[in-house]
Every structure is written in C-alpha cells, then in structure tokens.
Amino acid sequence: MHIVVCIKQVPDSAQIRVHPVTNTIMRQGVPAIVNPYDLFSLEEALRLKDEYGGRVTVLSMGPPQAEAALRKAISFGADDAILVTDRAFAGSDTLATSFALASAIQKIHEDMPVDIVFAGKQTIDGDTAQVGPGIAKRMDLQLLTYVSSITDLDLENREITLHRRAEGGVQVLKTSLPCLITMLEGTNEMRFATLPNMFRAARYPLKQWDKDAAGITDVSKIGLKGSPTIVSKVFAPQPKTIPAEIIDCESKQPKDLAVTLLAKMFTKFPNLHEDIAKANA
C-alpha cells in the first residue's frame, strides 16, 4: 500500500503579530510549523502503515524552507519526502496549488501506485479547505472529508470503510480505493518521534522537484497566471472592546459585593426576574 500525505508549512498563528508601525503582518521571525490539521492526517496514515504495511510519502509545495516541515514528517515515521519548489509557483491560489500537487502526485503514482491521498481539513493560514477536494477532483479520486475514523481497510477488494462527521450525525461510508481523505481535527494525537527516526530525519536526502520534475508542462495553470483569485485587500478586523466595570463597595465583604452586583444587574435588565421565571417554566 502506498499513501501520500500533503502537508503545508504555515506560520505559527499563535505567534503572528501585526507590526505596530506599518500595520502589516510580520512573518519574519515567526516560527514555521506543519499545518496542525495535516498532522491528524499524517498520524492516521502512519497508523494504517503500522497496521497494513506499505509506504508513506509526504509531499509539500512551497519555498525551500518548507524542507523543515517535511523533515519533521520523516521524524514521525514517513518513508519519503518530496518538496515541490519552483519560482514559477509563486502567487499560486488554491486552483493552481491543487493543480501542481495533483501533477506531482501523478508523478509519484507512476513510480509506485498510490492508494490513498491524505490532506488536512484546511490550513491555518489560507483556511480555504479547497486544496484537498481540488486534488481529488483533478485526479478523479473518491473524496472523503471530515473523517473521524477509518474502521476497515480491505486491500484485497480495494475497499475502505470509515466514519464521517456530518451535520447532525455520523455517516458510515464504504468506498473504493483510490481515495482522498481529510481527517477531522482532534482525531489523532501525533506520535513522539523515536531517536533513530530523529537521526533519519536529520540525514534524509530530501527530494526537490521543480515544475518539470513534477510533470507540469502547462505553465499557464500555475503561479499567478494560473490563479484567478484576486486579493483586493487584506486588513485586520478592529477588535470591539467593551470597557470592563470594576464594582466596589465600602465594606469589601464578598456578600455585599454580590448584593451590589445583583442590584446593578436588576437595574440594567428590569425584566430579568420574569425572564428567569419563564426560562425555568
């Protein structure tokens, strides 16, 4: 069995700051991480490999620094890593990104047939959740999003059974391979890499593919040219602040403070009494 996991390197959103002077997003110095949603998928792929054998190849499109994300995936236990990197990809939107990734997966497939492709549910920087489905559509793969668990994999009959979160319930689905899966967040906790795998990751001779190696001949489908999305404006929403009120009373006793607070609440919402009674009824 051969699994391909698409991972994207993203800035650690918890550490992004807006430059106080220029008001632009400061990417410099913000540590880059593997898109957290992709780790749920990677862990699922590694579990399938543990159970059924086979190989896991991780794939990323991005600048040369994205190498770090791929090495991390190797340290967790992925077998191979490919970085698709080329100046020609600059400015790619989701349409162009899914085109490039689909081409690369096709190339990987020619080398060793691919049974399952995993993608993250969405990224934490672009947030569109379009790339996974885009790849599935282009490669004509069964698309399974919001998967919460894979319950059975029948390699002989090439069938997969899984649970998918849907509005108001859980769907139990069975479909044929090859397919593309995006895992729901919180499904798996990423494993802790072993020391030998840390060594392997540090030493792994990463494969770097340019657009030709990724099998892309039509350059009008990648980069800015292949990206119909137009970003007309980027701005940080103004946070709404409601000034907090500090309630004080002379005695400083908790009981009196509570009474003061209640008095204030009932003055501000005169119907509170009735509302509570109604809600209780």
Partner 1 sequence: MDEKFDAIVIGAGPSGNAAAYTMAKAGLKVLQIERGEYPGSKNVQGAILYSKALEEIIPDFREDAPLERHLIEQQMWVLDDESYIGTTYRSAEFNQEPYNRYTIIRAQFDKWFSKRVQEAGALLVCETTVTNLLMDGNRVIGVQTDRENGAIYADVVVLADGVNSLLAKKAGFHAELEPKDVALAVKEIHFLPEETIQSRFNIGEGEGVVIEMAGKITQGMMGTGFLYTNKDSLTIGVGCMLSDFKQQKITPYELLEKMKAHPAIKPLLAGGEMKEYTAHLIPEGGYKAMPKLFGEGWMIVGDAGMFVNAVHREGSNLAMTTGRYAAEAVIDLKEKKLPMTAANLARYQGRLEDSFVMKDMKKYKNMPEIFHKNNHFFTTYPELLNRAAHTMLTVDGVDKKSKEREIRKSFKQRRSLFGLMGDAFKMWRAFE
Ligand X SMILES: Cc1cc2nc3c(=O)[nH]c(=O)nc-3n(C[C@H](O)[C@H](O)[C@H](O)COP(=O)(O)OP(=O)(O)OC[C@H]3O[C@@H](n4cnc5c(N)ncnc54)[C@H](O)[C@@H]3O)c2cc1C
For binding to partner 1 (CB under 8 A), which residues are involved?
A: 17, 19-21, 29, 31, 192-196, 198-199, 202-203
Q: Which is nearer to partner 1, 90 or 202 (CB)?
A: 202
DSSP helix/strand/coil, 152: strand
Distance in angstroms between the alpha carbons of the first and the last residue of the chain: 59
For residue 123 the two structure tokens come to: 């990224």
The entry of partner 1, ligand X, none that residue 187 binds, CB within 5 to 8 Å by partner kind: none
Q: Which is nearer to partner 1, 21 or 234 (CB)?
A: 21
The entry of ligand X, partner 1, none that residue 127 binds, CB within 5 to 8 Å by partner kind: ligand X
Q: Which is nearer to ligand X, 45 or 61 (CB)?
A: 61
The entry of ligand X, partner 1, none that residue 35 binds, CB within 5 to 8 Å by partner kind: ligand X
**Smallest distance from the beta carbon of 75 to partner 1, in angstroms?**
9
* Amino acid at site 116: I
**Smallest distance from the beta carbon of 248 to ligand X, in angstroms?**
40
Binding positions for ligand X, rule: CB under 6 A:
6-8, 35, 37-38, 59-62, 90-94, 97, 101, 119-120, 122-123, 125-132, 231
Question: Do the beta carbons of residue 132 and residue 182 sit within 8 Å?
Answer: yes
For residue 256 the two structure tokens come to: 């009196």
**Smallest distance from the beta carbon of 232 to ligand X, in angstroms?**
9
The entry of ligand X, partner 1, none that residue 8 binds, CB within 5 to 8 Å by partner kind: ligand X
**Smallest distance from the beta carbon of 74 to ligand X, in angstroms?**
15
Other beta carbons within 10 angstroms of residue 100's beta carbon come to 27
* H helical segments located in 24-130: 36-52, 67-76, 94-111
Residues 99 and 84: their CA atoms lie apart, in Å, by 12
The neighbouring-strand residues paired with 209 are 84
The entry of ligand X, partner 1, none that residue 149 binds, CB within 5 to 8 Å by partner kind: none
Question: Do the beta carbons of residue 141 and residue 105 sit within 8 Å?
Answer: no
Residues 204 and 84: their CA atoms lie apart, in Å, by 16
Residues 148 and 129: their CA atoms lie apart, in Å, by 16
Q: Which is nearer to partner 1, 29 or 254 (CB)?
A: 29
